[in-house]
């Protein structure tokens, strides 16, 4: 159930509605819009009767919502959410945001060189892992705290915003202290304790789709965060696991089109993991923009053949600059800028 | 093994090479190029010694080929193959070819209305099924011979080329008598007897990827046709079967990028089956062009809500015209025309 | 819709019912049972009114059927179908039938040695491919007509029934002339023209599940055959394609349990293709019997390491004899014999 | 690299070997066996030279290990690991252990009734979730601390051991305080921080395979736990995500056979989640035992149709007793007891 308030509804009218919701044993969630506020209701089993709310003062409409995800649904909030990442806006009609950098922070020179290169080519955010979840306990797990410091240093040197992964609640405070945008990795998409902890923060989140998660499960994971009050969630398609083995994953661009229909949240695409083949990353980045992505996240390494992880899919700086030229042309063709 | 002849090699030099190949119990396959001919060799177990051929008169090079597909491989023929469909060229730098029309031919008025509509919006080929393979024996299986006649009538009325599916060797002669481009459906991609029969024809073929076939298997299926001497094969990505159920299939645009790298054959994308959701077909068509597709095949019905099959994913004529506008803009952005 | 006749219904009463069905533009399908006949109706769009038939003489009941598959459904025929393969019965309470032999017939000595070995260990049918569909046009495609002759020779030498694959309608007459049980391979499960042609025969069929076909699609493929009047269909689970790459396929034993619930047709399991790892074939054969399979089909080669195809998953004769001991013990534990 | 000590090697000889390993900057992991100890080495990039260790006193052999998982590999420890769960042994030739109970603890009467029922039918452990990870933030998430108390009460009433899920590090101490066997759910299989925390405990673990995790990834997740010194890991196959939608998951019994070959750890199967259809749970339980499972975990609810979660796949107590009869017969057929 979604209660839509009239454009000029007063604070008292709003409080009156939320009191009524609580008196029924349910939970109200205020969803601020540009010219009016909506109030999502959760906690009900089965459908509620719209008549319970439709005649309250200040209420424009009471709408039955049919999807299991509510607060992230376009049924509940029609206009696009624009997420502000330390001044860089993503979603709606904002320019397409490009995040770029290495898989992992490896050294001061590596991250600074990468940061300067991607900034020069037009990226507005720097990606780079400090805490790396790895399939094997014997693989490189990141520089951890030292990696965060290097990211901060690269930010001060270039003005780029920093996006980096948080892998558990133990290190959440440390990572959130450095990151402008917190990345939740594919393996943690259904780590509900982590989602809840991040929902309590007021820090933007990049939520990556699990490698075998459905579109609906991705939206439910976002719902966990938004239900705790953190509305700044960006969804990320990064390829799914299928029977095809020639590519690292199968980039599911259908998901971009569907997510933009179903949800008001911004959608970013990771073509580097999505195909995993360096020579094709730029082609997939163009395709992502052509079908509606609000941003891109791209692996760039100063010397990909010597990268400690993901070298096969990383571009060098020159390759990234070329990718940006292609992306700009396609963005213009679909009425966007970069 | 691939023997590349010198640009000015004589017919006698070529015959000399093929005789040598046959004398070893192997099979030569001439692959004509723009300025010189290559000769693929099949039938060997294990690797051949290039020295066997490298010193023959007229031979420029003898190359060991590493993929299981040979004749369709870009290792064997570097330049793009351009397929000529009754005067419409697909592949290389030819304009992006758009095939459009209903899932099935249903009646004279339906197919004529569809044909006129898609021609006006810029399509150069008319799609429409006369023989329909269906999962259930109780579903509509097409108008069969009558459908072929109606396609021919629509071709004469509009000048569009006709692409239609052939589902078995029994009806191959009839379908090939009408079609300008023979479509092999996803379920028949590994119907090897049909592939071989079509390999004997000299008629262009649109080979759809099986719904759970790998990229390599698609190329091996094309190899079956080319190995029999029919070089006019167009590959088609139409979505694969995955765990995701919100969309009809998962359109694998990674496959477009990989196929263009691995093979010289043109690649067409079917976004209608690839996503199966009408509102998103245009977005996926733009994405396909952005990552390198040489053509599109789109379901268009004069009255989609009354279609006998696939109505949920069919555009009406106005929707198709809008799709074409978006596709033209993206094509220009990647240096192509439509 | 299914019309169930009374136990003592006369031929005239039955004719009366089928005439009524035809008069409505629909198609009757007689399904003989042990003590009474049922008549399936197809060709209707939407539900029929049971009252149209319930009061006709000789009619016991008129039942609305809810699945898209009808004639193969247990809703339509409650008791198990027992298929007779030249005197060997499969299904119901018949002993578990074991088919064994090489992937492909390679030579007289190979097939005779295999046949004698598997017969001695308790198999009742000999498997062996004469016409082999292969992913690559350059791989061994079987001995064809010569292979059929060798199978016939092995049958005469051992008394085993012969099961062999038919890959197209062109060779159907030849294969059906030799085979006691016609195998339709996974790649042909939705080759509807082949299914229809086999539906016209009165020869038992082993229908393998397509490698990415759902359980429902397998039943619809069986429906194609039964709808043409060939009731002797045996379903075969042989592993599906998933993301797991350590095993050749993922043997879906869930499908055995579901097929036995949904359909009256016998179910056979192919653990050789289902796992593709020699050391584990016997374990999976035991599991198949434990969850209700009516038969097994096993790859056995006199010298697996020299097999022209599928050697990695083939047992030698001693390994097969050991498999049979394990299968017999499990069969006894679930109240069956072998 | 794996160092195998001689049967009578002294503590000093062992210390000498581990010192040598540490002096090379690597990490030794002692793996106690029945009659001798092995020492796994991790931390090396690339292969080590066996000669570095082979001539040390007390060393029997130094073996190069080829799989990415080491400590859990059968190459490293040939004999089966037997895990002791508060006196109940699982693995090797121990009786097949059956864990049964409801999806979630709902109330005192529910869990006591379930516990008494499954104990009477022969289960030795009680399953029941107190902390439930759920796809939606609005679904029932378990009774939490109260649920743990009820599990303890049921244990005291019946003597059953308790297996229950731990979903995050925050609640690990509380759950470990009650559980005899800690369950790691499918969604947490790659929650590496949780795996590491559990690796520090000396409490047995039931590690469920992620719903889209490969067999190799499951073994790598187990490696995370064992590498921290907790050797009491039981692997659990619970069905994987595939294209098939008729069953809740696709139970991958191939994985049981492969895990028993590759690893020395015990393997348990969860047929309830594996098929998700009540009528077929018993059939799949029998199949699991037939192919080598060391244990079963089964959902049983006193009143499945009123269960708060997973009712569709839960058996009632009578159904569970019937399942046990079938499982006992199959276990005897493969030389095991229950």
List pLDDT tens digits, range A82-120.
999 999 999 999 999 999 999 999 999 999 999 999 999
Provide, as residue numbers in chain B, all residues whose Cβ is less than 8 Å from the Cβ of C134.
192
- Same domain, yes or no, for D135 and D245? yes
Provide, as residue numbers in chain B, all residues whose Cβ is less than 8 Å from the Cβ of D243.
212, 241-243
Mean pLDDT of chain A: 93
Instruction: Report the C-alpha gap between D250 and D212 in whole angstroms.
Output: 11
Report yes or no: C217 at the B interface, CB cutoff 8 Å: yes
pLDDT in the model for residue C50? 80
- Same domain, yes or no, for B129 and B205? yes
- Same domain, yes or no, for C22 and C164? no
What phi and psi, each to the nearest 5 degrees, are found at residue C7?
-50, -45
Residue of B nearest to C44 (CA): B138
Residue of A nearest to B218 (CA): A244
- Same domain, yes or no, for D192 and D314? yes
Residue D41, helix vs strand vs coil? strand
Residue of B nearest to A272 (CA): B254
Contact B242 A250 (CB under 8 A): yes
Contact C214 D246 (CB under 8 A): yes
- Same domain, yes or no, for A34 and A99? no
- Same domain, yes or no, for D204 and D118? yes
- Same domain, yes or no, for B37 and B104? no
Report yes or no: B190 at the C interface, CB cutoff 8 Å: yes
- Same domain, yes or no, for B250 and B167? yes
Report yes or no: A288 at the B interface, CB cutoff 8 Å: yes
Report yes or no: B241 at the C interface, CB cutoff 8 Å: yes
Instruction: Report the C-alpha gap between A296 and A328 in whole angstroms.
Output: 12
Torsion from C-alpha of B159, B163, B164, B169, nearest 10 degrees: 120
Contact A212 D217 (CB under 8 A): no
SS3 of chain B: helix, strand, coil, percent, to 5: 40, 20, 40
- pLDDT of C63 above 80: no
SS3 of chain C: helix, strand, coil, percent, to 5: 40, 20, 40
Residue C331, helix vs strand vs coil? helix
Q: CATH number for the domain including B307?
A: 3.20.20.70
Residue D205, helix vs strand vs coil? strand
Query: Closest Cα of chain B to C220: distance in Å?
Result: 6
Flag the least confident range among C80-84, D47-51, D256-260.
Answer: D47-51
Question: Which residues fall within 8 angstroms of residue B19, CB to CB, at 6 or more apart?
Answer: none
Contact D168 A167 (CB under 8 A): no
Report yes or no: A244 at the D interface, CB cutoff 8 Å: no
Burial string for C224-258 (b: 16+ CB within 10 Å, else e) reads bbbbbebbbbbbbbbbbbbbbebbbbbbbbbbbbb
- Same domain, yes or no, for A295 and A152? yes
- pLDDT of C46 above 70: no
Tell me the angle at which helices D281-290 and C281-290 cross, rounded to the nearest 10 degrees.
150
pLDDT-based confidence at residue A47 (cuts at 50, 70, 90): low
What DSSP letter does each residue of C196-262 carry, written as one string? HHHHTS-S-EEEEPPTT--HHHHHHHHHHHHHTT---EEEEE--B--S--SSSSB--HHHHHHHHHH
Predicted confidence (pLDDT) per residue in D227-276, tens digit:
999 999 999 999 999 999 999 999 999 999 999 999 999 999 999 999 99
Total structural domains within chain A: 2
pTM, entire model: 0.89
Number of H helices, E strands in chain B: 11, 14
Average of per-residue pLDDT across C260-279: 97
Q: Is residue D78 part of a domain?
A: no
Provide, as residue numbers in chain D, all residues whose Cβ is less than 8 Å from the Cβ of B245.
245
Instruction: Report the C-alpha gap between B118 and B108 in whole angstroms.
Output: 16
Instruction: Report the C-alpha gap between A128 and D61 in whole angstroms.
Output: 43
Provide, as residue numbers in chain A, all residues whose Cβ is less than 8 Å from the Cβ of D170.
169, 193
- Same domain, yes or no, for D277 and D323? yes
Report yes or no: B216 at the D interface, CB cutoff 8 Å: no
- Same domain, yes or no, for C144 and C238? yes
H or E stretch covering B153: helix B145-158
- pLDDT of B225 above 80: yes
Q: Is residue A74 part of a domain?
A: no
Give the domain range for residue D53.
2-63
Q: CATH number for the domain including B44?
A: 3.30.70.1140
Predicted confidence (pLDDT) per residue in A263-304, tens digit:
999 999 999 999 999 999 999 999 999 999 999 999 999 999
CA angle D266, D267, D269 (to 5 degrees): 150
- Across the interface, of D215, D244, D333, the residue whose CB is closest to C330 is D333
Provide, as residue numbers in chain C, all residues whose Cβ is less than 8 Å from the Cβ of B137.
42, 192, 220, 223-224, 227
- pLDDT of D17 above 70: yes
Query: Closest Cα of chain C to B168: distance in Å?
Result: 7
CA angle B209, B327, B122 (to 5 degrees): 95
Q: Is residue D114 part of a domain?
A: yes
pLDDT in the model for residue D34? 64
pLDDT in the model for residue C140? 83
Q: Is residue A222 part of a domain?
A: yes
Q: Is residue D287 part of a domain?
A: yes
Report yes or no: D135 at the A interface, CB cutoff 8 Å: yes
Predicted confidence (pLDDT) per residue in D142-196, tens digit:
999 999 999 999 999 999 999 999 999 999 999 999 999 999 999 999 999 999 9
Q: Which of B144, B164, B179 is nearest to B102 (CA)?
A: B164
Total residue length of chain D = 338
Contact C135 B190 (CB under 8 A): yes
Query: Closest Cα of chain C to D13: distance in Å?
Result: 38
pLDDT in the model for residue B47? 66
Q: Is residue D110 part of a domain?
A: yes
Q: Between residues 42 and 71 of chain A, which touch chain C (CB distance below 8 Å)?
A: none
Contact D243 C216 (CB under 8 A): no
Predicted confidence (pLDDT) per residue in A146-176, tens digit:
999 999 999 999 999 999 999 999 999 999 9
Instruction: Report the C-alpha gap between C209 and B302 in whole angstroms.
Output: 37
Report yes or no: D193 at the C interface, CB cutoff 8 Å: no
In chain C, % of residues over pLDDT 90 = 75
- Same domain, yes or no, for D102 and D143? yes
Q: Is residue C179 part of a domain?
A: yes
pLDDT-based confidence at residue D45 (cuts at 50, 70, 90): low
Cα dihedral across residues D55, D57, D63, D69: positive or negative: negative
pLDDT in the model for residue C34? 64
pLDDT in the model for residue A210? 97
pLDDT in the model for residue B2? 79
pLDDT in the model for residue B141? 86
Contact B193 C223 (CB under 8 A): no
Residue of B nearest to A218 (CA): B244
Contact B284 A214 (CB under 8 A): no
In chain D the first and final C-alpha atoms are separated, in Å, by 37
Report yes or no: D274 at the C interface, CB cutoff 8 Å: yes
pLDDT in the model for residue B44? 74
Tell me whether strands C27-32 and C59-63 are parallel, antiparallel or unpaired.
unpaired
In chain A, % of residues over pLDDT 70 = 97
Average of per-residue pLDDT across B151-159: 98
- pLDDT of A45 above 70: no
Report yes or no: C242 at the A interface, CB cutoff 8 Å: yes
- C·D CB contacts under 8 A: 133
Contact B241 D241 (CB under 8 A): no
In chain B, % of residues over pLDDT 70 = 97
Chains with at least 3 CB pairs less than 8 angstroms from chain B? A, C, D
Average of per-residue pLDDT across A190-203: 96
- pLDDT of B31 above 90: no
Q: Is residue A70 part of a domain?
A: no
Best interface-test mutation with A: which of C243, C244, C246, C249 has the largest number of A CBs within 10 A? C243
Query: Closest Cα of chain A to B221: distance in Å?
Result: 16
- pLDDT of C65 above 80: no
Which residues on neighbouring strands pair with residue D269, listed in sequence order?
A: D237, D296
pLDDT in the model for residue D55? 83
Best interface-test mutation with A: which of D41, D48, D139, D193 has the largest number of A CBs within 10 A? D193
pLDDT in the model for residue B45? 67
E strand map for chain B: 2-5, 27-32, 37-42, 59-63, 83-85, 88-90, 97-101, 125-127, 161-165, 181-184, 205-208, 233-237, 267-269, 295-299
Provide, as residue numbers in chain B, all residues whose Cβ is less than 8 Å from the Cβ of A247.
215, 254, 258
ipTM above 0.90, yes or no: no
CB D103 within 8 A of CB D129: yes
Query: Closest Cα of chain C to A213: distance in Å?
Result: 14
pLDDT in the model for residue D4? 83
Average of per-residue pLDDT across B260-278: 97
Q: Which residue among D35, D63, D91 closes a domain?
A: D63
Tell me whether strands D125-127 and C59-63 are parallel, antiparallel or unpaired.
unpaired
Predicted confidence (pLDDT) per residue in C287-331, tens digit:
999 999 999 999 999 999 888 888 789 999 999 999 999 999 999
Mean pLDDT of chain C: 93
């Amino acid at each position: 159930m979604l209660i839509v308030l009239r454009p000029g509804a007063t604070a008292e009218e709003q409080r009156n509605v939320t009191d009524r919701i609580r008196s029924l044993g349910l939970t109200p969630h205020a969803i601020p819009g540009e010219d009016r506020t909506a109030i999502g209701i959760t906690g009900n089993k089965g459908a509620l009767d719209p008549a319970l709310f439709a005649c309250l003062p200040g209420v424009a409409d009471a709408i039955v919502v049919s999807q299991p995800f509510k607060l992230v649904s376009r049924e509940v909030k029609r206009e696009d959410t624009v997420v502000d990442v330390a001044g860089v806006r993503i979603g709606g009609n904002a320019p397409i945001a490009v995040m770029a950098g290495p898989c992992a922070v490896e050294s001061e020179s590596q991250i600074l060189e990468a940061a300067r290169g991607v900034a020069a080519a037009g990226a507005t955010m720097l990606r780079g892992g400090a805490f790396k979840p790895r399939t094997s306990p014997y693989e490189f797990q990141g520089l951890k705290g030292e990696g965060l410091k290097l990211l901060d240093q690269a930010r001060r040197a270039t003005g780029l915003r920093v996006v980096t992964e948080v892998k558990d609640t133990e290190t959440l405070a440390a990572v959130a202290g450095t990151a402008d945008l917190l990345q939740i990795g594919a393996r943690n998409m259904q780590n509900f304790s982590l989602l809840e902890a991040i929902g309590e923060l007021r820090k933007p989140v990049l939520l990556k789709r699990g490698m075998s998660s459905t579109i609906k499960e991705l939206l439910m994971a976002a719902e966990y965060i938004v239900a705790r009050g953190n509305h700044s969630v960006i969804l990320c398609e990064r390829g799914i696991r299928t029977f095809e083995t020639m590519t690292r994953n199968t980039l599911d661009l259908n998901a971009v089109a569907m997510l933009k229909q179903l949800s008001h949240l911004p959608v970013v695409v990771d073509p580097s993991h999505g195909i995993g083949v360096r020579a094709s990353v730029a082609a997939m980045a163009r395709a992502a923009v052509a079908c509606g992505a609000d941003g891109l996240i791209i692996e760039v390494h100063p010397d990909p053949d010597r990268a400690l992880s993901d070298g096969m899919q990383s571009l060098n700086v020159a390759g990234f600059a070329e990718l940006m030229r292609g992306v700009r042309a396609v963005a213009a063709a679909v009425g966007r800028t970069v």
